[in-house]
Structure formats: structure tokens, C-alpha cells
Chains A and B, each alone.
Chain A
């Protein structure tokens, strides 16, 4: 057995499971088109059509389908709001890209600002205040209290 044996076998298995999931979606869709959106935690599946395999199966498991219940739309990309999604991912990526070059203070500030802006209702001034407070808090918690060896300012800023 070489180094590729297990990954290859897993890849085949995953592909088979993917095909099965697609096939099942055609034969017995999780949410039939036109079916009323299901309520979280309600007894909605009781009126599932019994001859519909997906519906009947759901009747058994629906009550614990936490995530599904909260996202009634079966299309995973439908209804994604771009502002929070892009901002949060950008915030984390910003930290990764700047922590070494700019250091802890600028990286934390930028990440905090981007993250705070992710929520649609937050105005820039409030986001700025959050970012400043967060930078101070990070400095106190990680550098002063926990004594982590983090450069406050990175190579580019002469730290």
C-alpha cells in the first residue's frame, strides 16, 4: 500500500456518496417544490405525504434536524447575504496576512473593524469604537496577562 491508497479509496467512497445524495435528491427530495416551509421544532412533518419517501423519512428524524429546520431553503447558496459573509471571512484572512508583517496591534484592529462591520446594522463609528476597545482588550489579555510572545508591531513597522 502506497501513500495514495487510502486517499484514493476515500475519494471513490466520497464520490459514491455524493452521487447517492444527488440521486436521492431526485428520487425523494428533502423539500418537495411547493411544499410549505417547515417550522423549526414544530410538528410540521406530521402532514408529510407518506408515500413520498423523503417526507416519510423526515417524519422520523425531522424533530432533531436543527440546522435544516432553520434553513428551510434547500439551495445552500440561496439567500446568502454577502456583507456578513465576506466581511467575517475577510476579517480572519486579514489577521492571517498581517500578523507577521504588521504585528498584533494593527492586525487586531483591522480584524476587529472588519468583523464589526459585518453586521448590517452597525454604523462605521460604532465599528471603530468596537475595534479600538477590542485591540486594547487583546493587548491586556494576551500580552499583559498571559505574557504571550507576540510582536505588538511587526517587521514592516520597525517592531
Chain B
């Protein structure tokens, strides 16, 4: 049995005591830096990456890095829930309901649910990864430019289902996000776009700067305009643990999210973002009381967090099998691989099975350590809420500045934080949500790249998007998603009319 042999090999690597120690060290460091307000997983990993450079054994280095990754992700979710400061786009979904829970005094419950959901999803996804890596890599290989394009369209349309305000505005936010993503040099011709002759803009906008601006700084501005929100939050930090009833409520969402996350995580290009968004949308649709979503629904934390973690796991599949980084964090991982003298790709699996399977097994070990480490610490994290806001928000501002700057040593990135902070604040005041904007920004370049590549291959014939079967099906699904999103609005509108007539 290949699978068992592979897993046995993997665990024989991962369970060597020094590798467990490195994994633990990675998880501790990742969490510690990840919970610093304003520093998300991408920034955390970038900050800690150099530590692993000195290792002689690439397996240990990558195992520690995987530990950092999980720790950073959980730390990022912690700040998303407690401070409404998601460090990356996938945690933005967690922040919606997680932060509402924190504001009503259930921060501990939200953190515990996030940890437990992530653990379950991570365990399942590790098995999925081990079983499915080879065949799924084959499936991903058959995706052409047209399929990627249709997939991104589906993802973007799906995210509108998430927007709680006006659909029109959500759509506009997505388009604005894609437009912001086109900043910088054109991929095919190298022509600078929207750079206004500023050299620093040639490489495009920094994702971290945009995220920190529209979420972090804009949130601070919003809080400063409404001091009531903070006093209400600090006064009631009650029960840290979920009740039995709450645990029962999250079982189904966690299972659904695990499946969804494992599936979507494989897709190169923001699969984990799609996963958490999709999970949230699904839970909102199937929930018996969708009105709770946006006001602290526990399913809205459990689902996206599980999906995110499952996808984080399976997003190693394109990296390990194709050498394709699925998102910024994976791009950093590629950097780490290369520094260790390994070029990620199909060859690695054959030539260095001990490394690949050791890494896979260590992911599970990392998940175990994460839960063991973080459940007892929840009380400590929650105490972060009791820091007076007059002290807390300057900390966030300064740390966000340093974190953003340290990523590329580029002061323009920090200037972009200021700009997008102001923009995000005005958008929030105008009833436009920043989450779709960020998703458009992340997926926009993929959308454009694949649109143009598909049209180049088909010599300008747009019918390829419909005639290629997988692409056609995906576009069809996007259309269905659009209709389904619009339908409940129509239906409820009728309900209101009927209720009035009675």
C-alpha cells in the first residue's frame, strides 16, 4: 500500500524529536508574531523566514516553516476576531462574525471554535493531501487558461453572495479591486499602467499594504468615530468555552467547510480565500436563521476557519506537485525551498520522498501542537481586549507601519497604507464593503492573465470559454450562483409585501 508506506515514511521523519521541537518552535513563534496587531500571516512568515535559512537539514527547515505557517494563520485569526484586523483576505471573513462575537463578550468562544474547527479540518485535509496529491495534480494539469478564467469568475460571483449590503455596490467594489490589481507593469508587454511615472508603482500595489489599509486603519478610524463600540466590548468578556449546544451547532459547518476547503485549496490562485468565502456563503444559505450572520453567528466563524485551514493544507498540493505557489505565503515557501537548494515541482516528490512526506506528516503534528498550545492561551489573548483603546490603537498603527515596511523595505507601501486607510474609511461610510474589493484585487491579475492568454491561444475567439467543457460548466455555475444570490432578495421582498397585506 503506497499511501501507508508514504505516511509511515513521513511520520518517521516528523516524529524525530528534533523535528517535533522545530515544529513546536515554529508554531510558538508564528503565533506570537501573528497575534501582533497589524501583522498578518504573510508578514509574519516573511519576518520569520530568515530564521530557517541557517538550517543544514532542509527537512527540519521546511517543517519549522510549516509550523510558523500554522501558527501565523491562527495568530492572524486571533487578531481578526479580537480586533477586526485580518492580516490576509481569507481571515477577513472570520472577522465579520468573529469580531461581532468578541464585541458581545464571546471572544473566548470564537477563539476556541476557530482552534477546534481548524484542528478537525487540518486533520482531515492532511489525509486528503496524502491520498489525493498525485491524482489531483493530474486534474489540475488539465486546466487551461480558459478554465482558470471561468473559475475566477465563479469565485468572484460567489463572493457577492457574501456581501451583506447592496449587491450593486459589492459588484462595484470587486471591479474597483480588479482595477487596483492592474496597477504596475503589464504582464505581457511590460507597459507601465497607472504608475504616473512613479518608479515604485511599477511592481504594483502591495497586497499587505492594501489589506492593512482598508481593514486595519479604516477600522481604527471607524472606532475612533464611535467610541461606544469599545467600552461595550471591554465590559463583558465572559465564558471562554463554547457550550455543548454551540459545539453541536458547529459540527455540520465544520464538516462541510472541510470538504469545501480541501477541494478549493487545490486550485492555484487564492483557493484558500475562495474556500473561506464560499464556506461563509454556504453556511449563510443553509442556516435556519441567516439573519444572525454578520451579528456574531458561531457558524460564521467555525465554517470559514475550518475551510481556511483545510485549504491551507491542500494548497501544498499544487506547490509540491507542480511547483505552483497558490498564494503569497506559498510564494514565500518557494523562496524557502530554493534557499535550501530544492526546486519545488514534480521531481521533488520522486527524488526526495522523505522530505515531501515528512512535511505532510509534520503538518498534522503542527495542527496538534497548535491546539495544545492555543487552547490554554485563549484567556491570555482575550485579555488583549482589556487594554485601553487609547493605548491599543497607537500600537496597531505603529506595528502595522513597521510590519508593512519590513516586507519590502519600501516606504511607498506604508504611504499606500495611509491612502487605503482613508479610502477604506470613506467606502465603509458609503455603505461599500472592503472585503469584495480585496478579493477582486487578489484574483484580478489571475483573471486578466488567463483571459488574455485564452484569447491569444484561440486567436481572439471568445467562444472558447463556452465550448471547452470544464470552462463552460464553471461559467454556468457562476450564472446559477448569480441567479441564486438575487433570488432570495426577490422572494423576501414578496414576503414583505404579503406580510403587509394580511
Contact = CB atoms under 8 A, between A and B. Distances in A.
A79 B217 CA distance: 18
A140 to B, nearest CB: 12
A48 to B, nearest CB: 7
A130 B390 contact: yes
A107 to B, nearest CB: 8
A1 B454 CA distance: 11
Given A14-B175, A60-B493, A126-B390, A88 B429 contact: no
Interface in B406-433: 406, 411-415, 417-418, 421-422, 425-426, 428-431, 433
A3 B189 contact: yes
B398 A146 contact: no
B493 A4 contact: no
Interface string B377-413: 0000000000001110111011111100110000111
B339 interface: no
Contacts of B452: 1, 5-6
A17 B489 contact: no
B193 interface: yes
B164 A65 contact: yes
Interface residues of A, number: 74
A77 B418 contact: no
A92 B417 contact: yes
A32 interface: no
A76 interface: yes
Given A67-B433, A118-B224, A88 B397 contact: yes
B221 A85 contact: yes
Contacts of A130: 390-391, 394
A80 B291 CA distance: 29
Given A92-B417, A138-B398, A56 B493 contact: yes
Contacts of A85: 221, 224, 422, 425
A10 interface: yes
B291 A64 contact: yes
Given A60-B496, A112-B394, A119-B390, A66 B96 contact: yes
B418 A93 contact: yes
Interface in A49-79: 50, 56-57, 59-61, 63-68, 70-71, 74, 76-77, 79
B186 A3 contact: yes
Given A3-B186, A111-B397, A61 B164 contact: yes
Given A59-B496, A84-B221, A11 B179 contact: yes
Interface in B163-204: 164-166, 168-169, 171-172, 175-176, 178-179, 182, 186, 188-189, 191, 193-194
B295 interface: yes
Nearest to A45: B496
A72 to B, nearest CB: 11
Nearest to A126: B390
A100 B430 CA distance: 35
Contacts of B412: 96
B500 interface: yes
Contact of B390 (A13, A92, A107, A122): A122
B433 to A, nearest CB: 7
Contacts of A67: 165, 222, 428, 431, 433
A137 B431 CA distance: 37
B164 A3 contact: no
Contact of B193 (A3, A18, A115, A146): A3
Interface of A: 1-7, 10-11, 13-14, 17-18, 20-21, 24, 30, 41, 48, 50, 56-57, 59-61, 63-68, 70-71, 74, 76-77, 79-81, 84-85, 88-89, 91-93, 95-97, 99-100, 104, 107-108, 111-112, 115-116, 118-119, 121-122, 126, 130-131, 134, 137-138, 141-142, 146-148, 150
26 contacts: A7-B194, A13-B175, A21-B168, A50-B496, A50-B500, A57-B493, A59-B492, A59-B493, A60-B493, A63-B294, A76-B431, A77-B429, A81-B224, A85-B422, A88-B220, A88-B221, A88-B397, A92-B401, A96-B414, A96-B417, A108-B402, A112-B398, A134-B395, A138-B398, A142-B406, A150-B402
**9 nearest CB pairs, A to B:** A64-B294, A3-B186, A60-B492, A64-B164, A96-B414, A84-B224, A76-B429, A92-B418, A115-B394
Given A66-B96, A134-B395, 10 more contacts: A3-B186, A20-B168, A50-B500, A64-B164, A67-B165, A89-B418, A96-B412, A108-B402, A131-B394, A150-B406
